[in-house]
Amino acid sequence: MDWTLAQRAHKMNPSVIREILKVTERPGIISLAGGLPSPKTFPVEVFAEACAKVLRDDGRAALQYAASEGLPALREQVAAMLPWPVDPAQILITTGSQQGLDLVAKVLIDPGSRVLVETPTYLGALQAFTPMEPLIEGVASDDEGPVLQDLRHALGVADDPADAPPAPDRRRLLRLDLDPGHDFPRFMYLLPNFQNPTGRSMSEARRAALSAEAQRLGLPIVEDNPYGDLWFDNPPPAPLTARHPQGCVYLGSFSKVLAPGLRLGFVVAPAALYPKLLQAKQAADLHTPSFNQRVVAEVLKNGFLERHVPTIRALYRAQRDAMLASLDHEMQGLGVSWNRPDGGMFLWVRLPEGMSAIELLPRAVDKGVAFVPGAAFYADHADLRTLRLSFVTATAEQIQAGVAALAQAVREQQDAAR
């Protein structure tokens, strides 16, 4: 039988890294690789009570088809949670924020459309965008976020804003002799808070500058914020969307503050995009499970997250501290560097010159520890020396043992190369 696949299907390939990671799933391996929240943080009892209440109070409605936009009560709760004024009519409930990425890709990406991303960027976003066949370009990024000079370079504009006319003239100028809609990037995808994979956050200064530049040049922004509530000492600066709601799509999730197994996320979209995202949503799965929406709406009542999220922050901070202490202790003299994230779930490590994280992985697995090679997270020009460590899934004791094993693997790899 001879099936003819769509062109886009040929571009959907299993990542080499995912194949490598399969070996890390064998029992006994300490995984610092996964992006799984700590199951200790899941409020199982609270969910059990909410399930019982929802089914008791209005079980038949909870199990029936529902509106594609999402449950009105949940949309109101989401709007009220956000740190800028949002009309519930702008909220679209999605089946996890991964679906938000899929819908954005369908509505904004033509084959060959340019899409800008940070360097490195979230792998799941690359996977969601790829089926719509964009050209994805990494913008050089430092510890504070994307480098504006490189962003301007990608947009083909003068580096000194004073040299350039203000938008929208600039944008029109830029696009005058171009195939309309194909050469100016459709959007830039950003994950400003405790980014996956690096754990870094965009500084207030960089947010302000990037937001101003995006407004000046008419560059739409897709802002993904699954980790923003997981801050350890101070909340992150205001989202980019709060600074220019009409120019941004914002994606949020309950996966990291409640539980991922419910697949509940949301999109905040400007009026220019909402109807199209809604139509794409309806075509994709009709609506997000109504039962799950009602259960979460029930859980959220009476400020549950305000009591619950601080317990997640405290746990993850302690585990980050354990990982940093282990790295400080175990990696001495090995030429390995890493950052010190202020929240989230991940930390970013760079191996010494000449060493490849992909090559290191099998040796680390032999020693009993797994990580994700950083190459998985680059749209282009991967830095092969980088790797991602999660400090949330493993316990503090496992983290200590895992980092010690990783240091041993680095040492042996260095010895082998001599």
Is 169 near a second copy (CB under 8 A)? Answer: no
Radius of gyration for the alpha carbons in the chain, expressed in angstroms and rounded = 22
Q: Is 101 helix (H, G, I), strand (E, B) or coil?
A: helix
Other CB atoms within 10 A of residue 16 CB: 12
Report 3-22 residues binding a second copy (CB under 8 A).
3-9, 12-14
Q: Which is nearer to a second copy, 113 or 413 (CB)?
A: 113
Rounded (5°) CA angle 132-137-143: 130
Q: Is residue 291 a contact residue for a second copy (CB under 8 A)?
A: yes
Asked if residue 26 binds a second copy (CB under 8 A), the reply is no
Residue number with CB closer to a second copy (132 or 357): 132
The two structure tokens encoding residue 63 = 């199990």
Should residue 64 be labelled a site residue for a second copy when binding is judged by CB under 8 A?
yes
Determine the size of the site formed for a second copy (CB under 8 A).
86
165 binding a second copy? (CB under 8 A): no
255-267 burial, b at 16+ Cβ within 10 Å, e below that, comes to bbbbbbebbbbbb
145 binds a second copy per the rule CB under 8 A: no
CB of 221 to a second copy, least distance (A): 10
Tokens of 396: 């503090």
Task: Choose the binding region for a second copy from 123-131, 345-353, 354-362, 366-374 (rule: CB under 8 A).
Answer: 123-131
Instruction: State the nearest-atom distance from the C-beta of 284 to a second copy, in Å.
Output: 5
Residues 33-62 that bind a second copy (CB under 8 A): 35-37, 39-40, 42, 44, 47-48, 51-52, 55-56, 59-62
Q: Is 344 left (phi over 0), alpha (psi -120 to 50) or beta?
A: left
Contact between 108 and a second copy per CB under 8 A: yes
Measured between alpha carbons, how far is residue 51 from residues 63, 160, 257, 293, 396 in Å? 12, 57, 18, 11, 32
Residue type (1 letter), 86: V
CA dist 195 to 66, 173, 198, 286, 394, Å?
Answer: 33, 34, 6, 30, 19
List 32, 139, 273, 327, residue binding a second copy (CB under 8 A): 273
Provide the minimum distance between the beta carbon of 285 and a second copy in the complex, in angstroms, as a whole number.
4
Q: Are strands 187-190 and 114-118 parallel, antiparallel or unpaired?
A: parallel
Q: Give the residue with the Cβ less far from a second copy, 195 or 290.
A: 290
Interface with a second copy, residue 186, by CB under 8 A: yes
Complex with a second copy: residue 13 or 149, whichever CB lies closer? 13
Tell me the torsion sign for CA atoms 241, 244, 245, 246. negative
Q: Which of 120, 138, 236, 247 binds a second copy (CB under 8 A)?
A: 247
Look at residues 246, 255, 265 and name the one whose alpha carbon lies nearest to residue 101. 265
Nearer to a second copy by C-beta: 65 or 163? 65
> Which of residues 216 and 411 has its CB atom nearest to a second copy in the complex?
216
- Bridge partners, residue 267, by sequence: 92, 251
